[in-house]
Chains A and B, each alone.
Chain A
């Protein structure tokens, strides 16, 4: 942590809620370099030989441990692609906190593309939290293009909370998942774009095993002139259940495109897609105004609640 400057420390608290060195295993990447790393008896973090990422091995049966691998960038014009592989042993139960914060005060674009692959062992349970955040007043863009691949063995489960609330100019988030029998994927995405930001969120989930299930829910707000696309595909290739939902609020001149994609290749595949896009309901604002809030305060409360 001593190697971090104040901007990097602020970014770290935004994306990983970290104010000191985290407990458990961690790697903090700052401006393309490791600013601190620790393994534990059960979780080993090894840098790739090429220096562009990490291999994280979690021993079978590891319980109630956590891994933090935040990335912070405060140097304008830095572009990097990082590959992190997570090997999660059978029966493990762990929390993984990732996330990236970019502060760009310069004129050149800063870009971090994180390619995360999760190999989730039989019966393992993972809680994954990823927050993206951008700040800085420079004309250079803050760009994040995360790719997440999830390969799930039988009866494993992963719950992914992915949040991008502020300051990221351009993002294409791609999530691919393949599930074996009894595996369960839950995704909770929260997204807010403003200014002329653009965010694409793409999901492709293959439910390949009997009893596998996926629940992909996105809540998003598009303000100003921003644009979002939610493109969620679930393929049901076995008796399985899948649900995708896009629940979105548009404000100002914001635009949102929701593209449902369900393909049932098995007669016992039950797949559902829901999408609702619209402005804040007028009666919600009026109710809060009757409690003494101004229209602007009411909108803020409604958005904050919606994205909580």
Chain B
């Protein structure tokens, strides 16, 4: 279980303090898939980075299973059981997909076992396992490899920062199945997905809405989802026919 207590985060912008996260307290229970949504600029990705330890809060605390991890490094939080999938996956020259998955598992994993993680994110494993994680891979391929590394890490709490960003329609359908599969095998862990996608919201146990750095709403999906319709954070209708999948594309400027 993850608990945030009075968490705030400020940055310096042109000599003035700007508050990105404002006094947020919330709990992510075990065995739940929680989706954090809300308008762009609302603080979602920052909150994810505060949980992973990539950013340090200005004030407030983060607890994992009752232990205060606020002052822990990224490494120690990872070891304590937090997994994080970057919104924009990192490229490496020379490091291969297999290396990354092996490092994620923290064991001497076999190629065959590593391949199962790639297959589960819809990649033809033998074509990718020895590829370098560099710019020869497309954005969608990198994204799926990023998710595979987090699957391989088997964390108590896995955070996915906009998994849908930068991937095509076919990959997205596949991805939904990946998250549905994770939901099924959740056991004692929990999953946090930052997303604008209605189809991802639809598989949530709980939904958290952030707006302007504040906790705007939190509750079971059945309760929150109906309230989202018609608000600024709901799915934008950008073209007829596929309203559910358009919003992420519209932000990327690819919806012509």
Contacts and interface: CB of A to CB of B under 8 A. Distances in A.
Interface stretch (A107-115, A135-143, A299-307): A299-307
Given A286-B54, A290-B83, A291-B104, A307 B78 contact: no
Contacts of A286: 54, 74, 90
A290 B75 CA distance: 6
Contacts of A301: 95, 99, 103
B149 interface: yes
Chain B interface size band reads 20 to 34
A221 to B, nearest CB: 11
A287 interface: yes
Contacts of B83: 290
Interface string A263-290: 0000000000000000001011011111
Main secondary structure of the interface of A (DSSP, over half): helix
Contacts, number: 59
Given A283-B90, A284-B90, A287-B86, A293 B95 contact: no
Nearest to A290: B84
Nearest to A303: B94
A46 B92 CA distance: 46
A304 B94 CA distance: 8
A65 to B, nearest CB: 28
A247 interface: yes
B94 A307 contact: yes
Nearest to A281: B90
A74 to B, nearest CB: 32
A305 B99 contact: yes
Contacts of B92: 284, 302, 305
Interface of B: 52, 54, 73-75, 78-79, 82-84, 86, 89-90, 92-96, 99-100, 103-104, 106, 149, 153
